[in-house]
Amino acid sequence: MSSPSSEIFRRGVQIQQRTLIAWSAALVVLALSVVGAWPSMESSGALEDFSSGVSPDVAAAFGIDQLGSASGYLKGNLYAVLLPLLLGLMAVTATTALTGGDEEAGRLELLLALPVARRRVFLVRFLCVTFGLVLTSVLVWLSVYGSVVAFDMDVSGGGVAAVTLTVALLAVLHAGVAYAVVGFGFGRGPALGVAAGVLVVGYLLHAIGPMSDALKPLVNVSPWEWALGNDPLLDGVPWGGVALLVAFSVVVVAAGTYAVDRRDIKNA
Q: What is the pLDDT of residue 265?
A: 73
Interhelix angle for 82-96 vs 118-150, to 10°? 160
Query: pLDDT for 166-197, tens place per residue?
Result: 999 999 999 999 999 999 989 889 999 999 99
Instruction: Provide the 8-state DSSP code for 54.
Output: S
Cα 172–chain centre separation: 6
Q: Do 182 and 69 form a contact (C-beta atoms < 8 A)?
A: no
% of the chain at pLDDT higher than 90? 55
Task: Write down the pTM of the prediction.
Answer: 0.91
3-state secondary structure of 130: helix
Alpha-carbon torsion (24, 30, 31, 36), positive or negative = positive
Residues of the chain by 3-state class (helix, strand, coil), percent to 5: 80, 0, 20
| Portion of the chain with pLDDT greater than 70, in percent | 87
Domain boundaries, the chain: 4-36+85-260
CA 236 to chain centre: 18
- What is the Cα–Cα distance from 13 to 184, expressed in whole angstroms? 24
Alpha helices in 114-238 (DSSP H): 118-150, 157-183, 188-208, 223-228, 232-235
- Quick: pLDDT tens for 80-109: 899 999 999 999 999 999 998 887 877 777
Higher pLDDT, 264 or 244: 244
**Radius of gyration of the CA atoms of the chain, in A:** 20
DSSP state of 217: G
In the predicted structure, residue 133 carries a pLDDT above the cut 70 = yes
| DSSP sequence for 95-123 | HHIIIIIHHHHTTHHHHHTSSS-HHHHHH
Taking the CA of residue 141 as centre, how many other CA atoms within 13 Å lie in the half-sphere pointing to its CB?
Answer: 20
What does the alpha-carbon distance between residue 57 and residue 33 come to, in Å, rounded to a whole number? 27
Q: Note the Cα 90 to chain centre separation in Å.
A: 7
Task: List all residues 6 or more positions away from 144 whose beta carbon is below 8 Å from its beta carbon.
Answer: 31, 35, 74, 78, 160, 164
